[in-house]
Amino acid sequence: MNSFPEDDHHLTNFLQQNCPTVPPAAADLENRILAVIDDTPQAIGLSEPLIAQRSRPSRRVAWLLPSAIAAGFVATIVGYQAWIPRQQPTDAELAELETFIESTWQGNLAEQPPSETEELLPLTDEPPVN
Amino acid sequence: MFVVQTVSDGSHSENDDSRLVQQSLQGDTQSFRSLYRRHQQRVRAILYQLCDGSVLDDLVQEVFLRAWRGLPKFRQSAKFSTWLYRIAWNVAADYRQAAAKGRSQLQRLTTHTSTQQDAPDVMHLHYQDLVQRGLEHLSFDHRTVLVLHDLEEVPQKDIAEILEIPLGTVKSRLFHARAAMRQFLETEGVQL
């Protein structure tokens, strides 16, 4: 199953023989590190992965917050439309509207000239009979 | 006389490491000093080949400080060296990330070419420079696998554990890293 060759001796030998030489440590590095460690308590249960895990709930909150705001906004709009009744026209307004429609309707028909009415006849191939 | 870096033979007894870890957990800093002495050379080499020399001492200190702090979370069933190299890799990755963001203005030190050889072999220095530049030429993922496997001779199974990736991914990265390194060397006139 493995399609990758295991060894490349020529390259590996070349790399090992010509590996960059590591600079020597400062003479006091070991004591410096131990001095820092002497002043540093071992953290119980605070390895890096756990720290990373602890940051996850705050990320969830960060995602939940805008979602909650959006949901609240939608709920407000829907609730407003559901709870506020639409205004019904009064009898006087209905009568006025009816009168208006009747008058404008009649006016449209009355103002239309007879010639225009004829022009609206359906078109046929037969010539008009006169 | 040219000083050739000696690669650790990996003969450290895991039992000894385990005993030292137990004593360190009880606050025995001298046991931790022993752990430092057993592993610092390899940690130092890995960090140097993944980063650079200018902040090497600081990075080594950071690795062992993190190891000391995190020791209570170390699973006793695991190999201490594998766990320590994982920390070293994390420190190197953090450092490179910070450097890439410009938070660290670094200048490469070249003291290793001027202070350690009494009679430097010019061709050897040239090849060392090529290997160094070849490593820099690789992506961090490929560089890490090549350094750990081909330079530090860490077994592939351990590398998979250190990097928390499947063994197949280690093999794949090693294959591509070697191909890229070989190609780089060839363009520089090295025929292997």
The tens digit of pLDDT for each residue in A22-61 reads 999 999 999 999 999 988 887 754 444 433 444 445 555 5
Interface of A with B in 14-53 (CB under 8 A): 14-26, 29-30, 32-34, 36-38, 40, 42-48, 50
CB contact under 8 A, B71 and A42: yes
> How close B102 gets to chain A, by Cα (Å)?
24
**Is residue A126's pLDDT more than 60?**
no
> What angle do the packed helices B80-100 and B56-70 form, to 10 degrees?
130
Give me the residue spans of the domains in chain A: 58-84
Closest residue in A to B44 (Cα–Cα):
A22
Question: CB-based contact (8 Å) between B70 and chain A?
Answer: yes
> B129: exposed, middle or buried (C-beta count within 10 Å: 0-12, 13-18, 19+)?
middle
Using alpha carbons only, give the angle B25, B28, B30 rounded to the nearest 5 degrees.
130
pLDDT tens per residue across span A1-22: 456 666 788 999 999 999 988 9
Identity of the residue in A15, A25, A46 whose CB atom sits nearest the CB atom of B60:
A25
Confidence of residue A122 (pLDDT cuts 50, 70, 90): low
CB contact under 8 A, B112 and A21: yes
* B175 interaction partners in chain A (CB closer than 8 Å): 4-5
Among B87, B77, B88, B72, residue whose Cα is nearest residue B18: B77
Nearest-angstrom CA–CA distance, A44 and A128:
106
Among B6, B160, B170, residue whose Cα is nearest residue B79: B160
Identity of the residue in B45, B68, B172 whose CB atom sits nearest the CB atom of A22:
B45
pLDDT tens per residue across span B39-60: 999 999 999 999 978 899 999 9
Same fold, B12-105 and B110-192: no
Domain B110-192 has CATH 3.10.20.340: no
> How close B52 gets to chain A, by Cα (Å)?
9
Side chain identity, residue A107: G
Q: Best of B37, B56, B169 to disrupt the A interface by mutation (most A CBs within 10 Å)?
A: B56
Residues sharing a CB contact under 8 Å with residue B14, sequence separation 6 or more, in sequence order: B79, B80
Tell me how far the alpha carbon of residue A102 is from its chain's centroid: 51
DSSP string, chain B: -PPPPPPP-----HHHHHHHHHHHHTT-HHHHHHHHHHHHHHHHHHHHHHS-GGGHHHHHHHHHHHHHHHGGG--TTS-HHHHHHHHHHHHHHHHHHHHHTTSS------HHHHSS-SS--HHHHHHHHHHHHHHHHS-HHHHHHHIIIIIS---HHHHHHHHT--HHHHHHHHHHHHHHHHHHHHHTT---
Identity of the residue in A23, A43, A47 whose CB atom sits nearest the CB atom of B56:
A23
**Is residue A123's pLDDT more than 50?**
yes
DSSP string, B94-106: HHHHHHHTTSS--
CB contact under 8 A, B146 and A15: yes
Q: How many other β-carbons are positioned within 10 Å of the β-carbon of residue B8?
A: 15
Nearest-angstrom CA–CA distance, A125 and A58:
80
Computed over every residue of chain A, the mean pLDDT equals 70
pLDDT tens per residue across span B56-72: 999 999 999 999 999 99
Q: For residue B26, give Cα distances in angstroms to B9, B12, B20, B172, B183.
A: 29, 22, 10, 42, 51
Backbone angles phi, psi at B66, to 5 degrees: -65, -35
Its CATH class, for the domain covering B12-105, is mainly alpha
Residue B143 is predicted with a pLDDT of 96
> How close A59 gets to chain B, by Cα (Å)?
21
Residue A68 is predicted with a pLDDT of 76
Residue B167 is predicted with a pLDDT of 96
CB contact under 8 A, A19 and B60: no
| Contact (Cβ atoms closer than 8 angstroms) between residue A13 and residue B7 | no
Give me the residue spans of the domains in chain B: 12-105, 110-192
pLDDT tens track, chain B, 192 positions: 333 344 444 445 777 899 999 999 998 999 999 999 999 999 999 999 999 788 999 999 999 999 999 999 888 778 999 999 999 999 999 998 888 876 544 444 444 444 444 455 788 889 999 999 999 999 999 999 999 999 999 999 999 999 999 999 999 999 999 999 999 999 998 887
Among B148, B150, B55, residue whose Cα is nearest residue B98: B55
